Amino acid sequence: MSVYETPAEDSLGELTAVPEPGAVTVIIPSFNESGNVRELLRRITESVPSRVPCEVIFVDDSTDDTPEQVAKAAQDCPFPVSVIHREVPTGGLGGAVVEGIKAAASDWVVVMDADLQHPPSLVPELIATGEASGADLVVASRYTKGGSRAGLAGGYRVAVSRASTWLTKGLFPRALRGISDPMSGFFAIRRAAVMAEDLRPLGYKILMELAVRCGPRSVREVPFVFQDRFAGESKSTAREGLRFLRHLVELRTSKPLWRMIAFGLIGLTGFVPNLLALYGLTAAGMHYLPAEIVANQFGVAWNFLLIEVLLFRTRRHRRLSDRVGRYAVIANADLVLRIPLIAFLVGSWGMSVLPATATALILTFVLRFAGTEALVYTRKNRAAPRGTQ
């Protein structure tokens, strides 16, 4: 990671290497946006420093000359401009924003895109709204009265945006109360309200991450009109969509109860490869008892893949071979435990077979989940994030 800083002119016209911290730090995550940065800084210069002191931090993951273009354009800016260039884009756009928040020197942080779809002229209003209302978070919303998604090109992107908004608000009705546009990438947040150690960003929906994990005490919204991209191409891809879905799962399963529910749903999907393998093996002439054991491994492998990718991405501290071996032992122990447990419930407790089987399934499921958490995906930091509801 490399950091570049440009000097800025103070009120006396002199150059100062380290100006006074601004009232707002504008964080701009960028990826190959060299055609936009000069115009973006020009518009920030026109509308922000005359109303509120500011600094600008670009957190850049580019493979083009974006950092060089920022350095050139920043020479004309009456405020400090920094570039943090990341060689490894950990966490995607969300990770870039977290890096910027850690480097910010102001009480307020404004996050906005580099493509000029977010109007810089709105930055002072976001801060003023937060100061006047005492809110921790002020969201620039396309979906509140006076806002518009005009620059969201194409019916497909509009539909995806709307569907993502409904899904997100449905999964987090309390944490996102008062936020009509949780997909917005344009917002202001008090730096004191952000616990960077709680954040686990994945992809580009950092507002959702901040709202859910940090739980700001109060939220306000300011309408804005989503603009057309000034230059370059959109970075929204199907891959980013998949990362967004993974991010949703991780946020929703950050508490044990929801994690256990997701673990159970993943386990149910494992019946499909299990039954398909059993059908194929028995059709090929294998006796059903060894076929049951072999077919179970297909379900185990399927379930392991899903919990690795969706459920425990941030807790893969052990080596892969170690995780595979431990999970296979725990998953197959279910077969060994279930039959003796059913026999015990029927013989000693007098239960009939069906209730005993259902009870055994539930008990072994809980044990399998607990064993997987404790023995395969041990959590290093056991401090639960606040705000996830």
Residue with tokens 């077969």: 335
Per-residue pLDDT for 377 more than 80? yes
Query: Mean pLDDT, to the nearest integer, of 191-219?
Result: 83
Phi, psi of 66 (to 5 degrees): -55, -45
CATH of the domain at 81: 3.90.550.10
Lowest-confidence segment of 130-144, 155-169, 261-275, 325-339 by average pLDDT: 155-169
Tell whether 261 and 178 lie within a shared domain.
Answer: no
Phi, psi of 6 (to 5 degrees): -110, 145
Per-residue pLDDT for 172 more than 90? no
Per-residue pLDDT for 275 more than 60? yes
Query: Mean pLDDT, to the nearest integer, of 272-293?
Result: 83
Cβ atoms 188, 24 nearer than 8 A = yes
State the number of CA atoms in the 13 A half-sphere of 159 facing the CB: 3
Tell whether 261 and 236 lie within a shared domain.
Answer: no
Last residue of a domain, one of 196, 219, 252: 252
The residue that leads in pLDDT, 278 or 112, is: 112
Last residue of a domain, one of 252, 273, 301: 252
Tell whether 143 and 288 lie within a shared domain.
Answer: no
Per-residue pLDDT for 381 more than 80? no
Q: What is the pLDDT of residue 151?
A: 58
CA pair distance 113, 58, nearest whole angstrom: 10
CA pair distance 90, 349, nearest whole angstrom: 54
Residue 263, in any domain of the structure: yes
Write out the two tokens for 226: 């989503």
Query: Mean pLDDT, to the nearest integer, of 166-176?
Result: 83
In the chain, which ranges are continuous DSSP H helix? 37-47, 66-74, 92-103, 123-133, 155-171, 206-214, 238-252, 256-269, 271-283, 288-306, 320-349, 353-371
Residue 122: which residues within 8 A CB-CB, separation 6 or more?
140, 186, 222, 224
Given pLDDT bands bounded at 50, 70 and 90, which one contains residue 383?
A: very low
Given pLDDT bands bounded at 50, 70 and 90, which one contains residue 29?
A: very high
Q: Global pTM?
A: 0.67
Residue 9, in any domain of the structure: yes
Sheet holding 108-111, edge to edge: 2-6, 81-85, 54-60, 24-30, 108-111, 187-190, 137-141, 219-223
Per-residue pLDDT for 302 more than 90? yes
Tell whether 286 and 227 lie within a shared domain.
Answer: no
Residue 382, in any domain of the structure: no
Tell whether 313 and 289 lie within a shared domain.
Answer: yes
Last residue of a domain, one of 194, 225, 252: 252
Residue 387, in any domain of the structure: no
Largest CA distance in the chain: 91
CA pair distance 259, 264, nearest whole angstrom: 9
Tell whether 244 and 265 lie within a shared domain.
Answer: no
Cβ atoms 212, 386 nearer than 8 A = no
Tell whether 79 and 115 lie within a shared domain.
Answer: yes
CA pair distance 311, 264, nearest whole angstrom: 11
207-256 pLDDT tens trace: 888 888 888 889 999 999 887 665 656 555 666 667 777 777 777 777 78
Q: What is the pLDDT of residue 14?
A: 34
Tell whether 242 and 273 lie within a shared domain.
Answer: no
150-166 pLDDT tens trace: 655 556 566 767 777 88
Tell whether 261 and 242 lie within a shared domain.
Answer: no
Domains identified in the chain, total number? 2
> Domain range holding 321?
256-376
Tell whether 49 and 102 lie within a shared domain.
Answer: yes
Q: What is the pLDDT of residue 20?
A: 42
CA pair distance 298, 209, nearest whole angstrom: 34
Residue 167, in any domain of the structure: yes
Cβ atoms 360, 342 nearer than 8 A = yes
136-147 pLDDT tens trace: 999 999 888 888
Tell whether 264 and 151 lie within a shared domain.
Answer: no
Residue 389, in any domain of the structure: no
Cβ atoms 133, 218 nearer than 8 A = yes
